[in-house]
A and B are shown apart, each in its own frame.
Chain A
Amino acid sequence: MAAQSSNVIEIRGLVNRFGPQVLHDGLDLDVRRGEVLGVVGGSGTGKSVLLRTIIGLNRPAAGDIRVLGRLTRELDDEAWRKLQTRWGVLFQNGALFSSLTVAENIQAPMRERGDLPPELMEELAGLKIKLVGLPVEAGGKYPSQLSGGMKKRAGLARALALDPEILFLDEPTAGLDPIGAADFDQLIRSLQQSLGLTVVMITHDLDSLVTICDRIAVLVDKKVKVGTLDELMRDTHPWIQSYFHGPRARAAGIVVG
């Protein structure tokens, strides 16, 4: 494969600004192969914008983004499309196409490739449905017939449709009840291990950070600070301090006492 480097994503000097407001200013970030990286930050610090910039929905004002060894801004349409098949994205509310059934939703990216026989696509869609822990019958249902948690799983199945190497998740556990959220965390972890995925997840869920993230990237002062939970706990930045030592962190069992 092209990228033998241990970093699947390398961001250097990223600048994002909207009008006079600067969101990211010289942001550097590396995502290592096979890790689960949690991205946290206060509201309006540009977590979603960072994710959208990596996947090409937002053009940065400056900076280099290398995904799987390819410099994204230099790619032509063809190469870009090829690169896009190597990652999957789960949007916050699943972003399932409401006019298609779950199985058709999962087949949508496969159809885009154009060369897979229909029976195989159906079988693979069924396989993904099983992999994310949905019952097979869910494949014939429309998104409006699913609960919030099932929508997320279906969205995850679609993100996995083409067996991507990188999985981007935007607040995967938001809106789920604590049991559903814990299940979803475990699902992500086990899929990550069995399918050999690299996962980048935006999250507000401290439980997710503790249970499944290998490293955490904190967006502060228009840059990121990356480290393991233990490293960040010792960080002296006031926002990080209050984030990891607040009452909710205590409830999540990060801080004892």
Chain B
Amino acid sequence: MADQPGWIKLVQGPDGAELRAGGAWIVEHAAALDRLIAETAKAAPPKGLDLAEVTLLDSAGAWLLARATSQGEAGAVPWLNLAAEFQPLAERVLAAGPKVTPERPRPRTFVDWVADVGEGAEEVFSETLDLVAFFGEFVLALGRVILRPRRFRWKPLLVHIEQTGINALPIVGLISFLVGVVLAYQGADQLRRFGAQIFTVNMVGVSVLREMGILLTAIVVAGRSGSAFTAQIGTMQVSEEVDALRTMGLDPMEVLAIPRVAALVISLPLLTFFADLMGLLGGGVMCVLLVDITFSQYLGLLNNAVTATHFWVGMVKAPVFAILIALVGCFEGLRVSGSAESVGKMTTRSVVEGIFLVIIFDALFSVLFSILSI
């Protein structure tokens, strides 16, 4: 009975036009009712709205009727014969008043866009300053811990070494191996044209040890552990754990940042060493297949091609990159504000900034090494 959709029509009576509505005026039919109201002619203002045949009414339906009859404005059409059971609802909806549409945000203009660029630039600047300040705070906290080594937290250090180092071995190893394979394959292909295939070994050796091993490891670690640091600390921030630490007189820098940075400073060089080995192994496998040498010949050639310097040039970057990645991870984690959304935002930011800084510093190292002629 009640499921007949609502209807509204204009009826010409002896003493002027009258609107009549009936059926179910509920949200289920709202789209159709909205169209129906738009179609109902409003030539002369009707003298009233007869609601005697309305069988169901909810707030959406009442609102549509209120709007159709300009309730709350001058020239409102009075409602007639509404069933008593719907009276409280009608009163409630009418009490909400005619102007209920929330303001829509202003459409964006060119000026907004320019302002965005400016704000973005300012943000980058202030964030860089904050990061430098954070580094300063970190060094101070580190100084305090070094002066009183008892306050150092060993257990989290070991946990983080396990998570950032040992657990990353498979992925770092696989990637390095494959990059070694790719380098050797591409190198052999190009060098063959000069009859210099044998120098593939030099190329693989130098590029893996100096650049590829450390850079790839750092990028994988930034994606894996930098993001994890931000997410962990960010979640603690959301659940007010960081505030709890502060209230107990514990320094978040000391409790959260130092163990993580220290763990990464230990595990990233070790991972890099492992990545170097796997990269050289991958290159070796490819050389054996493409360049017609045995594996022991490969090792011999490698021995002649690279010196300890090449190895150390790559290795010396590892702790620096570790500090960058871990610091950015902790920094962004502590910048998380109340909401879950901001954890995601800061985590993304931490990975992007981590990788960005790693590559910037890698370039700086290159400049430095070329000045020092290493």
- Residues of A at the B interface (CB closer than 8 Å) are 1, 98-99, 102-103, 115-117, 119-120, 122-131, 136-140, 143-144, 160, 162-163, 190-191, 193-196
Contact = CB atoms under 8 A, between A and B. Distances in A.
B329 to A, nearest CB: 23
Given A98-B339, A124-B63, A127-B96, A163 B58 contact: yes
A194 B58 CA distance: 10
B3 interface: yes
A136 B63 contact: no
A194 B89 contact: yes
A126 B89 contact: no
A79 B11 CA distance: 39
Nearest to A1: B2
Nearest to B89: A194
Nearest to A136: B102
B9 interface: no
B8 to A, nearest CB: 15
Q: How large is the interface on B (under 10, 10 to 19, 20 to 34, 35 or more residues)?
A: 20 to 34
A48 B109 CA distance: 48
For chain A, what secondary structure do more than half of its interface residues adopt (helix, strand, loop), or is it mixed? helix
A215 B13 CA distance: 50
B101 interface: yes
B341 A99 contact: yes
A98 B341 contact: yes
A131 B100 CA distance: 10
A131 B92 contact: yes
Given A126-B100, A129-B102, A130-B97, 15 more contacts: A98-B339, A98-B340, A123-B101, A124-B63, A127-B93, A128-B59, A129-B100, A131-B59, A131-B96, A139-B103, A144-B338, A160-B59, A163-B59, A163-B60, A194-B92
Given A99-B341, A162-B27, A140 B102 contact: yes
Contacts of A160: 59
19 contacts: A1-B2, A98-B341, A103-B102, A117-B31, A120-B64, A122-B101, A123-B101, A124-B27, A124-B60, A126-B100, A126-B102, A127-B59, A130-B96, A130-B97, A131-B93, A136-B100, A140-B105, A144-B338, A163-B59
B148 interface: no
Nearest to A115: B31
Contact of B63 (A99, A119, A127): A127
